Amino acid sequence: MNKMLRLIVVLLLGLSAGMAQAVNNYTFSYTWSNGDVITGGFSGNASGNLINDLTHISFSLNGVAVTGLIGSAGDEYGLSPAIASFDGRQNKLVFYNSDYSSFFISADAGPVYGPPGTNFFGVKVQGVGDACDNYTGDAGPGFVCKGSIGPTMRWTVSAVPEPSTALMLLGGLAGLGALARRRARS
């Protein structure tokens, strides 16, 4: 029985490692100190802390979804590709709708918004928005920062497994269960 338990653990670890490599869909959120929350999702290719080749982007502010085609860039002028990072400190992205009336931006604060190495987050959806340096609480031009945020990271990115990967995992578990039941009868 001990061998069977070890086999099951090894197979589950192998399946979960394969599942982690296959994931390329992500959800994200950022919470401002006043409670405003931007949420959304995208597809991309992870490499270390960075997620590149962002596509299938969606986002909303406090549940108000931005509709229509969403574009992306790595800066507000669209000169480079968007990059997200798991820790938020290396984000270089602008998500925007077709008429630029709604946007979400996250990039190095640099000398304009705060000290280099800190990250700026800004959003505007249907006229409502906020923009702050994540660390200092300094406001972006034309915005009021709704309270200092401090060093606490309020950015999260979570991988979403593809349905086919989850089905493959369930199939493997069912097969292991059948194998265990068959051996128990013998």
Mean pLDDT across 1-30: 67
Please return the burial class of 124, using the count of CB atoms within 10 Å of its CB with bins 0-12, 13-18 and 19+: buried
Residue 67 token pair: 């509709």
Cα→Cα distances 142→122, 131, 145, Å: 11, 9, 10
The percent of residues above 90 in pLDDT, for the chain, comes to: 23
The percent of residues above 70 in pLDDT, for the chain, comes to: 60
Cα→Cα distances 175→169, 171, 186, Å: 10, 6, 17
Mean pLDDT across 75-85: 86
**pLDDT tens string 108-161:** 766 666 666 667 777 888 777 665 655 555 555 555 555 444 455 678 899 987
Question: Is-contact 157 28, C-beta < 8 A?
Answer: yes
Residue 71 token pair: 């574009």
Find, among 145, 178, 171, the residue nearest to 34 by Cα. 145
Question: Is-contact 57 72, C-beta < 8 A?
Answer: yes
**pLDDT tens string 7-21:** 676 666 565 555 444
Residue 139 token pair: 């406001």
pLDDT of residue 160: 87
Cα→Cα distances 84→47, 96, 125, 140, Å: 11, 15, 20, 20
Across 45-60, b (16+ Cβ under 10 Å) vs e yields ebeeebbeebeebebb
pTM of the model: 0.68
Task: Identify the H or E element spanning 123.
Answer: strand 119-125
Phi, psi at 18, each rounded to 5°: -65, -35
